[in-house]
Structure 1
Amino acid sequence: MIEATAISHRYRADRWIFRDVSLQLEPGEVLAVLGPNARGKTTMIKCLAGLLTPTSGTVRHTGTVGYVPQSHSAAVNYPVLEMVLMGRARHVGVFSTPTRTDRDLAADALGRVGLDHLAERPFTRLSGGERQMVLIARALASGCGTLVLDEPASALDLRNQGRVLAVLDSLASEGMSIVMTTHHPDHALRVAGRTMLVVDPDDIRVGDTTALLTGDTLSELYGLPISTLDVAIGGRDERVVVPDFGVGTTAGAR
């Protein structure tokens, strides 16, 4: 669905964001992109999505790509279904209006994320988690085969993080390819078969998520002690990530 060959990008002549990255994303595969702030994760996925042209190298897509930004503030208080219908823009002529088919596809996309009951509610009256789901539905309405998301669970509470991950996992099981940035290694472990670690411009690591996300690797990536533990959750063994923030033992008593 996405094939990147030796892509590199820079905004200034003396500073590369990343160099010589190659990967292939297959149908139904989820790739998580992890790294500290300001290491170029968003630039990376924008290049993969076709929103930015890399300085060198090539990116090829099979089918269309839907992009979901990290945050969104609507200038006009559109109803939810109208927000999702905007995803059909590429299929509607410049002087045309959406057809019944466009509206049906938008309604179907809203149903896939479980928010069809909110179709008429103003977008600004939704919770953060509901807004994120609407933006995912808008991308799905475009008919994309690949979904690229920038921190889809950012600023969401635990319940809504779980809802977003469950939707992404379900979409992948239906054959959709997904690329997402995240600051939560646990999220990558839950839904991503492969992970990309953006360590520095010349050190971009891509591999099996479970093999790559070890305590030693994560400690190196984020610059603080991190351990991983295998625990039983819901009758299955899951790896969890435990960072050592260096907070005193009395902090939790306050």
Structure 2
Amino acid sequence: MTAPSLTVSNLRYGYRQPLFAPLSFACRPGDVWAILGANGRGKSTLLDTLTGTLPTLGGSVHVSGGASVVPQSFRPAFAWQVHDVVLMGRARHVALFAQPSAGDDARVSEALQQLNILPLARTPFNGLSGGQQQLVMIARALVSGSQNILLDEPCSALDLANQQVVLQLISNLAHRQQRSVLFTTHDPTHALQVASHALLLLPQGQWLAGETSAVLTEENLRQAYGVTVRKITLADSPCPVLAPLFSLER
């Protein structure tokens, strides 16, 4: 079996006080982990801890092959063009005081083309829509060459067509490039579609981790979100759909 590229062992994380019981899981090349939970449960805090932005409160995180993060938002201090923002992802491959090479520029163009945003290469990043900015940040993570790609709600600002682009990209990264992918999401159907494994953050500091189909059951999702969820199989879809049943007063 392939060795994990990201291993979490008895991790305690949060701000001053741990948010959850000690957390353990391992992500291997080719795995896609979806991290789900209600607002405020600590999904983004977990990603920050995995990358070392926040210190652990206990336990350990071991990363092999580097990790690149796609944050929910990015506000550069300068009026950088899209090409320049993506090129930043190549920083660890460029020697000190050296200039990016033609090969670095080619990788940038390839990533932008992969996400169908190459025409935006010379557009100021700050002038883009939120969804376009999200795609640019994903391109920046792609060119890094890191083994582990961590995405914080990558589809939250995207229309349906671009959600499909990003979900397909996540699948390609894992299955074609054998990268390890972790992404947070509020949409359990996205997790069912592309994730091999899921980490579900529950109330009172509890969590569940394992194969996606085993973790994302109707009962487990009800505990996580406090809303009734039904798993629906559609005749023209190979993947079930998880539909919330909202109770609205009239």
TM-score between the two structures when normalised by the length of structure 1: 0.89
Query: Whole-Å Cα distance in 2 between the matches of residues 229 and 76 of structure 1?
Result: 47
Report if the CA contact (8 A) 1:165-1:187 is conserved: yes
Go from structure 1 to structure 2 and tell me whether the alpha carbon gap of 1:237 and 1:92 turns closer, same or farther (over 3 Å shift): closer
1:183-211 Cα deviation digits (max 9, x unpaired): 11111011101100011464111011112
Partner of 1:4: 8
Q: Deviations over 1:77-135 (max 9, x none)?
A: 32211111011222334533323232222223223323223322222343333221210
Give 1:241 shift. Answer: 1.3
Matching residue within 81, 90, 93 for 1:88: 90
For the pair 1:246 / 2:247, whether they are aligned, the reply is: yes
Provide the residue aligned with 2:154 in structure 1. 152
Percent identical pairs in the alignment equals 39
Q: Secondary structure at the match of 2:46?
A: helix
Query: Which structure's residues are more often strand, by fraction?
Result: 1
* Bigger Cα displacement from structure 2, 213-222 vs 109-118: 109-118
Counterpart CA distance in 2 for 1:27 and 1:77 is: 36
Matched with 1:181 is 184
CA contact (8 A) 1:78 1:122 kept: yes
Report SS of the residue matched to 1:7: strand
The unaligned stretches of length 5 or more in structure 2 are none
Question: What is the identity, as a one-letter code, of the residue corresponding to 1:181?
Answer: T
Give the Cα–Cα distance (whole angstroms) in 1 for the partners of residues 211 and 25 of structure 2.
13
Q: Secondary structure at the match of 1:245?
A: coil
Aligned pairs for 1:22-41 (under 5 A) are 22-41=24-43
RMSD of aligned C-alpha atoms? 1.9
Q: Which residue matches 2:233?
A: 230
1:163-195 deviation line (CA, Å, top 9, x unaligned): 211221121222111000001111101110110
Q: Distance in 2 between matches of 1:111 and 1:160?
A: 14
Q: Is the 8 A contact 2:203 2:224 kept in 1?
A: no
In structure 1, the gaps of 5 or more residues are none
- 1:208 counterpart residue number: 211
3-state SS of the aligned residue for 1:11? coil
Q: How much has 1:148 moved relative to structure 2?
A: 0.3
Q: Which runs of 4+ in 1 moved over 4 A?
A: none
Equivalence for 2:223: 220
Give 2:133's aligned residue.
Answer: 131
How many residue pairs are counted as aligned between the two chains? Answer: 245
Of 136, 140, 143 in structure 2, the residue corresponding to residue 141 of structure 1 is 143
Distance 1:28 1:117 in 2: 31
CA contact (8 A) 1:232 1:238 kept: no
Equivalence for 1:121: 123
Task: Work out whether residues 68 and 149 of structure 1, in 8 Å CA contact, stay in contact via their aligned partners in 2.
Answer: yes
Whole-angstrom distance in 2 between the partners of 1:103 and 1:163? 23
d(CA) in 2 for partners of 1:166, 1:131: 18
- Which secondary structure state, in structure 2, belongs to the residue aligned with residue 16 of structure 1? coil
CA distance in 2, matches of 1:232, 1:74: 46
Q: How far, CA to CA, are the matches of 2:128 and 2:20 in structure 1?
A: 37
- The answer on whether the counterparts of 1:16 and 1:201 sit within 8 Å (CA) in structure 2 is no
Q: Match for residue 197 of structure 1? A: 200
